[in-house]
A and B are shown apart, each in its own frame.
Chain A
Amino acid sequence: MGFGPYLLLATLEGLVMAAVLALTALGLSLVFGVMRVVNVAHGEFFMLGAVLAWAVSNAVGGHPAIGFLAALVVAPLAVGAVALASERLVLRRLNYNPEATIVATIGLLYILQQVALTFYGADARPVVAPFNVRLQLPWFGYSAYKLSVIGFSLLLLGLTWFVLTRTKIGLIMRATQYDRETATAFGIAVDKVYAGVFVAGAMLAAIGAVLVVPIRQAHYLMGHDPLLLSFIVVIIGGLGSLRGTMVAALLVGLSDGILSVFFSPTLAKIVATTAVALVLVFRPQGLFGTAQR
């Protein structure tokens, strides 16, 4: 295979990565943007989504598509319920203090890993893709499922954008993000908005995870990379900026896909992580964000 096809393959893989990453990172970004807290357990919501997807699709049986669709509905809802419980029982009691929340969500991260290890086990397990069609490209066949992941993710991102910018719910969320006190004064139940945003953020991660399990197997330690990559995306895109998050997800997903095809993944990660840390040091508002008030 020559260089061209190789690059095309890497780009396609990168696009699939970017699609899933955009959903996951958007969840983290929403939570940070509106609630001003960092959810270190975000990667574990992703992991939980993947593990539940395996459990659901396994329990349903029949044609793989039925199991997958069931997982796509049930897993995010279940993860949302877990997120709601942790928000009500832990985060709210801490009054969303940024540093206490970090410590608590670190704890949550390990608890969720332990729960997954106990009930799911240490094995990596695959979910069968809902359909198995190969599209014939000029040089090689490519899984149609992976392409549909990109499409579905774009659809969902568009939907989120629509909700955020064109609906009353979005207006309330943006108002809370802009100024919590004034929002309260205008009769917005900030408390409920926070719960909703936290649940929505976790569900976005879970949907990303369900989409990814037919490509990558579900494992109880799989949450680490999505968390780090989401941090990277959210930082480069500017904390709390939706457009920035999408652009950055594309950038990071593509470069991660392409770099790890051509170079050692460890080296790629070293370079990427250092670069991002330096972005945060020298341009804290992100490459695309604007300085905060």
Chain B
Amino acid sequence: MSERARIAALHLAVIALLFAAQFVLPAYHHGIVSRVMVLAVFAIGYNLVFGYAGMLSLGHAMFFAAGMYGAGLPVYHGGWGIGPAFLFGIACGAVLAAGIGLLALRTSGVAFMIVTMMFGQVAYLLALWFGDWTRGEEGLTIAQDLRVVGPLDLTDPTTRYFVALALFSAALLASLALVRSRFGRTLVAIRENEERTRMLGYDTFRTKLAALTVSGALCAAAGAAYALLFGYMGAGFANVPYSILPLLWVLVGGAATVIGPFVGTLAMFYLTDLSNDLLNRNFPDWDISALGIVGLALVLLILFFPKGVMGTVRARWLPWLP
């Protein structure tokens, strides 16, 4: 097989596997995988900026929340249809990301991280400040009858799974195409040596801005889908932990790999779930929270496993892995 065919086959196989899994998974895991696929889109969006372009952002929750509120609030307050609301959510994320990028991309490295964290914090505070519309941390539930589009009832688990799979497949293939294009290679060049890339005549600012905008749109798509599929939106999704989770997922799965974000999201979801249960059953008065496990995972990963699962696979066995 040529390299091109191999890559296409691998990614289509992942999608086919998820398609087949729907028929065999028990109800509980069925629900988890739907959720993981939506959140993996969030991680895919984050990976574009963090993995490929090498920019450490700590404010990506604001793009997720922009999509979530951009899609959810018009449905909840304005009675919009699901389709237009979803698109509007994505547009909100893209516009926000472009606006933030115009400011934040004037900085780089540590300053970029602090600036994005601060803008993310402002977005979270704004969600609290407009509590009359968002109901802050408590959040809003979108009624069941509002989440029907044509023949599709988004509250039905099977429909939900397939919609999530469709969104995930689109995001996966889009990111695959993107990182293998000239644009994607320019991003990697910027990550490796921005000065040299600029010297070679590339407009690095514009490339980074485009990457951040696409990333914002992807994260917003995940947020919008989350609100519409699971019927809940709350300010908690705009807070700091939701900026750190995609970082964790991408690190676990392998930064700058196309499947990595999904692998990482799936692995961390089950790892936190299982270890949480296990620890709380054996040490009931220890108050173990998911964030404690996340913290330990982050430290151990960065110390002993910085390439993540797919990054290690690429380094050891499959050098062609995109």
Report A's interface with B, CB cutoff 8 A.
38, 90, 93-94, 98-100, 102-104, 106-115, 117-118, 121-122, 224, 228, 231, 235, 264, 266-267, 269-270, 273-274, 276-278, 280-282, 284
Contact = CB atoms under 8 A, between A and B. Distances in A.
A235 B115 CA distance: 10
Interface stretch (B78-86, B160-168, B195-203, B286-294): B286-294
Interface in B74-112: 103-104, 106-107, 109-111
Interface string B119-145: 101100110110000000000000000
A122 to B, nearest CB: 7
Contacts of A100: 302, 306
Contacts of B295: 106-114
A265 B180 CA distance: 47
Interface in B277-309: 286-289, 291-292, 294-303, 306
Contacts of A276: 118
Given A103-B247, A103-B251, A107-B298, A118 B303 contact: no
Given A224-B240, A277-B103, 8 more contacts: A98-B110, A114-B295, A118-B288, A121-B287, A228-B121, A266-B128, A270-B129, A273-B121
A276 B56 CA distance: 19
Contacts of B303: 90, 93-94, 104
A277 B119 contact: yes
A-side binding surface: helix, strand, loop or mixed? helix
B114 A231 contact: yes
Contacts of B301: 103
Contacts of B289: 114, 117
A224 B239 CA distance: 12
27 contacts: A93-B303, A94-B302, A98-B110, A99-B56, A102-B56, A102-B113, A107-B294, A107-B302, A114-B295, A115-B292, A118-B287, A118-B288, A228-B121, A231-B117, A266-B129, A269-B121, A270-B122, A274-B119, A274-B122, A276-B118, A277-B115, A277-B118, A280-B107, A280-B111, A280-B114, A281-B103, A281-B104
B129 A278 contact: no
B122 A281 contact: no
A106 B247 CA distance: 11
A111 B114 contact: no
Nearest to A101: B302
A267 B125 CA distance: 8
B125 A269 contact: yes
B244 interface: yes
Contacts of B110: 38, 98, 102
A278 B119 CA distance: 10
Contacts of A282: 106
B30 to A, nearest CB: 29
A93 B303 CA distance: 7
Contacts of A93: 303
A118 B121 contact: no
Which among A107, A231, A235 has the greatest number of chain B C-beta atoms within 10 A? A107
Nearest to A282: B106
Given A103-B298, A108-B299, A110-B298, A277 B291 contact: no
Contact of B286 (A108, A118, A231, A235): A118
Nearest to A234: B114
Which among A108, A224, A266, A280 has the greatest number of chain B C-beta atoms within 10 A? A280
B113 A38 contact: yes
B299 A104 contact: yes
Contacts of B251: 103
A102 B294 CA distance: 14
A104 B302 contact: yes
B100 to A, nearest CB: 9
B111 A284 contact: yes
Given A102-B113, A117-B292, A280-B115, A107 B299 contact: yes
Given A102-B110, A117-B287, A277-B119, A111 B125 contact: no
Nearest to B304: A93
Contacts of A109: 295
A273 B115 contact: no
A235 B114 contact: yes
B292 A98 contact: no
Contacts of B240: 224
Contacts of B104: 277, 281
Closest 3 CB pairs of A and B: A110-B295, A114-B292, A107-B298
A266 B289 CA distance: 27
Contact of A266 (B117, B125, B286, B297): B125
B11 to A, nearest CB: 27
Contacts of A99: 56, 109, 113
A235 B111 CA distance: 9
Contacts of A110: 291-292, 294-296, 298
B116 to A, nearest CB: 9
A100 B306 CA distance: 9
A218 to B, nearest CB: 16
A98 B58 CA distance: 14
A266 B125 CA distance: 7
Contacts of A112: 295
Nearest to A119: B286
A114 B107 contact: no
B36 to A, nearest CB: 21
A109 B117 CA distance: 15
